[in-house]
Amino acid sequence: MDRFVIRGGKPLVGSVECARAKNAVLPLFAACLLTEEGCTIENTPLLEDVSTMLKLLRCIGVKVVMKSRAVKITADGRLNPEAPYDIVRKMRASYYVLGPLLARFGDCRVSLPGGCAIGPRPVDLHLRGIAALGAKVRIERGYIRAKAKVLRGNTMMLEGHKGPSVGATINTMMAAVLAKGETVIEGAACEPEVIDVANFLNKMGAEVTGAGTPIIRINGVNKLHGAIHSPIPDRIEAGTFAVAGAITQGKLVINGCEPRYLTAVLTKLRDAGVRVEWDESSIRVEARERPKAINISTAPYPGFPTDLQAQFTALLSIARGTSTITENIFESRFLHCLELNRMGALIDITGNMAVIHGIERLEGAQVMASDLRASAALVLAGLAARGQTEILRIYHLDRGYENLEKKFTRLGADIRRVKS
């Protein structure tokens, strides 16, 4: 099992290119199931989650050809509309095949999902969405069985008690594009990834409007065709690099991103005293001293993203003063705080709030990653810490960041991957 060894204390300086968004690529792959014609997703990041999703598609019987970073997916011939537990348990996003398989075949079995250990993420909103389209849904031996002779458009409210669900919005939207009549999704998630999937569906011949707003309208069509699409940049990776520049008191330029999707994050960096500037496709970050304490509450887009909460926790652990972070999306997303405390951080957890008493500097230690974004937070902490940090279980990181250690090395970091 690989691990990172980091010698911290070096400012990161230079420029880095942002990868394409994993959280868009995975549902885009699933959307290719909606047509027999070939679809191509360009500029695909080389990640473990991408490999897992492609493995699932092959298991269903889909033809997958990857040339460089272009993935051609052809869902023709005889397919098996089932997503087995052995694959779905490894990655929650595998569940995105539910909507397309139901719309295409009218009968499918999809295992209940897995993913990071960051608290319960119920699938009730996914099931509510497809049931509203006329599907009969039941749970049998750990699988969701969904059947419908004909899907019919309907008006539904998908917002849950913790706000809109990105996954449920996308899954229902993909199912509805082949339903008869109009579907109206109220309480829809507004995340950029929802917009990207809607744009791809429209390229395939769907009629989706309102993506990026709380109300999405879909006029069902009889058939979709193949299309070529390049996913949006990864806003979470861009945000991670921005925090890396701040926590190491460095000077970074992040290219190939879309800062308009990171307004809440960049504003918080400015509030912390970090110099941040941006244009249409790049972000410039410069920090000359420790950040100032700030307060953060995670929220659905356009609020502060939960996927950058852990990285900001690492940053605020060395802030001047006491900060608070309130996690409103996932119930168990503070496991990284225990590991940061091993590095000298002073973080107290009460319910869904972390109180962070800033210290002057973190100390290197051996720590263990619990999930994808916690891994990123520990890497950032190690880059800023005095001495050597060893991070175990970095396979979590490989799910969502491509060659992160190589990108940081080019920026001046002393970080290496050690294979066990």
- The number of distinct structural domains making up the chain is 2
Whole-number pLDDT of residue 122: 61
112, exposed or middle or buried, with CB in 10 Å at 0-12, 13-18, 19+?
Answer: middle
Would you give the end-to-end CA distance of the chain in angstroms? Answer: 5
Same domain, 205 and 255: no
Same domain, 266 and 199: no
Domain end (from 229, 258, 274)? 229
Domain end (from 212, 229, 246)? 229
Closest CA to 27 of 163, 199, 155, 187: 199
Same domain, 224 and 312: no
Closest CA to 246 of 334, 311, 305, 337: 311
Across the beta sheet with 275-278, the strand order is 13-17, 251-255, 282-286, 275-278
Same domain, 168 and 248: no
Q: Give the domain CATH number at 294.
A: 3.65.10.10
Whole-number pLDDT of residue 114: 53
Same domain, 194 and 329: no
Strand 388-392 to strand 3-7: parallel, antiparallel, or no bridges (unpaired)? antiparallel
Same domain, 34 and 51: yes
Q: 323 forms bridges with which residues in the sheet?
A: 356
Same domain, 323 and 280: yes
Per-residue pLDDT of the chain (420 residues; tens, 9 = 90+): 899 999 999 999 999 999 999 999 999 999 999 999 999 999 999 999 999 999 999 999 999 999 999 999 999 988 999 999 888 888 878 889 999 999 999 999 999 875 444 344 468 899 999 999 999 999 888 899 999 999 999 999 999 888 899 999 999 999 999 999 999 999 999 999 999 999 999 999 999 999 999 999 999 999 999 999 999 999 999 999 999 999 999 999 999 999 999 999 999 999 999 999 999 999 999 999 999 999 999 999 999 999 999 999 999 999 999 999 999 998 778 999 999 999 999 999 999 999 999 999 999 999 999 999 999 999 999 999 999 999 999 999 999 999 999 999 999 999 999 997
- CA pair distance 204, 115, nearest whole angstrom: 29
Same domain, 255 and 361: yes
b or e along 155-186 (b: 16 or more beta carbons within 10 Å of the residue's beta carbon)? Answer: ebebbeeeebbbbbbbbbbbbbbbbeeebbbe
Same domain, 211 and 289: no
> What residues make up the domain containing 9?
3-19+233-418
- CA pair distance 116, 343, nearest whole angstrom: 23
- CA pair distance 83, 53, nearest whole angstrom: 10
Same domain, 80 and 224: yes
Domain end (from 229, 256, 279)? 229
- CA pair distance 354, 350, nearest whole angstrom: 6
Phi, psi of 291 (to 5 degrees): -70, 165
What is the Cα gyration radius of the chain? 21
Distance set, CA 136 to CA 106, 128, 168, 219 (Å): 10, 10, 17, 22
Whole-number pLDDT of residue 141: 85
Q: Which residues are catalytic?
A: 116
Which residue shows structure tokens 């969405």?
A: 129
SS3 for the chain is: CCEEEEECCCCCEEEEECCECHHHHHHHHHHHHHCCCCEEECCCCCCHHHHHHHHHHHHHCCEEEEECCEEEEECCCCCCCEECHHHHCCCHHHHHHHHHHHHHHCEEEEECCCCCCCCCCCCHHHHHHHHHCCCEEEEECCEEEEECCCCECCEEECCECCECCHHHHHHHHHHHCCCECEEEEECCCCCHHHHHHHHHHHHCCCEEECCCCCEEEEECCCCCCCCEECCCECHHHHHHHHHHHHHCCCEEEEECCCHHHHHHHHHHHHHCCCEEEECCCEEEEECCCCCECCEEEECCCCCECHHHHHHHHHHHCCCECEEEEECCCCCCCCHHHHHHHHCCCEEEEECCEEEEECCCCCECCEEECCCHHHHHHHHHHHHHCECEEEEECCHHHHCCCCCHHHHHHHCCCEEEEECC
Same domain, 265 and 213: no
Closest CA to 307 of 101, 166, 137: 166
Number of neighbours of residue 190 by Cβ within 10 angstroms: 19
Phi, psi of 252 (to 5 degrees): -125, 150
Which residue shows structure tokens 């699409």?
A: 229
Spatial CB neighbours of 93, under 8 Å, sequence gap ≥ 6: 23, 26, 27, 49, 53, 115, 167
Same domain, 212 and 99: yes
Question: Are the CB atoms for 401 and 46 separated by under 8 Å?
Answer: no
Closest CA to 224 of 179, 181, 193: 179
